[in-house]
Copies of this chain bind each other. A is one copy, B any other.
Amino acid sequence: MTVSGLRERKKQRTRDTLVRVALELFTGKGYERTTVDEIAAAVDVSQRTFFRYFASKEEVAFAVQQMVEERFYEALVERPAEEAPFDAMRNAVLSAWDTIGEAIEAVVPVELHLRMFQVIESTPALLAVHLRRATEMEERIARLIAEREGLDVDADPRPRVAVAAFSGVMRVTGQLWGRGTELTVCAMRDLTETYLDHLGPALASEWRD
């Protein structure tokens, strides 16, 4: 995991500091009103160095998010083969939510990450990037699902369609959570569960109970 060598450790420390400071500034005074120069100055590195760690100002905003997504993917890989595709995805998110906390805390306070999520949802430029990243993850998941079921992603529409529907719901819950007032991991988890359970009924031809 951790590589020995002063050089590597120093680099990791600089990176982590950049992420933490950036998130503090973004959540504190807003993404757009924070300049890269400010972040670099606060960490005491040159602006050029910032761009050697992160390809763009946006990228640093998603550093923690990245970890969380990887966690979900791994959870999905580990779902038993007998679970139906949609159930596997559903269970993977829910179980990932339960163990994500510590992983985040290793880099930044969980509360900071949650507030950053809100900033992402409410900042047009970041929201756009967030959605694009989500589609990249979708493609990975679709391939994984297809593999699980022994199908060809490009021949059978079902893997991509199932994933698209699933992550569409995930996106809606993310939005609603961001707008709401219960900014806890727990609230997020419950909202996710509720909305996923409504997907079947929502596609039914008759909505009247």
Contact = CB atoms under 8 A, between A and B. Distances in A.
Given A87-B205, A135-B131, A164 B158 contact: no
B158 A169 contact: no
Contact of A161 (B124, B158, B164, B198): B198
A6 B195 CA distance: 53
A28 interface: no
A84 interface: yes
A32 interface: no
A101 interface: no
Contacts of A171: 135, 164
Interface string A118-131: 00000010011101
Contact of A195 (B84, B161, B172, B176): B161
A206 interface: yes
Interface in A146-204: 149, 151, 157-162, 164-169, 171-172, 175-176, 194-195, 198-204
A199 B165 contact: yes
A152 to B, nearest CB: 13
A85 B208 CA distance: 12
Contact of A207 (B127, B149, B167): B149
A161 to B, nearest CB: 4
Contacts of A207: 84-85, 149, 151, 158
A141 to B, nearest CB: 12
A85 B201 CA distance: 12
Nearest to A131: B131
Which one of A85, A128, A176, A198 has the greatest number of beta carbons of chain B within 10 Å? A128
A136 to B, nearest CB: 10
A193 to B, nearest CB: 11
Given A84-B207, A168-B168, A202 B128 contact: no
Contacts of A199: 161, 165, 203
A9 interface: no
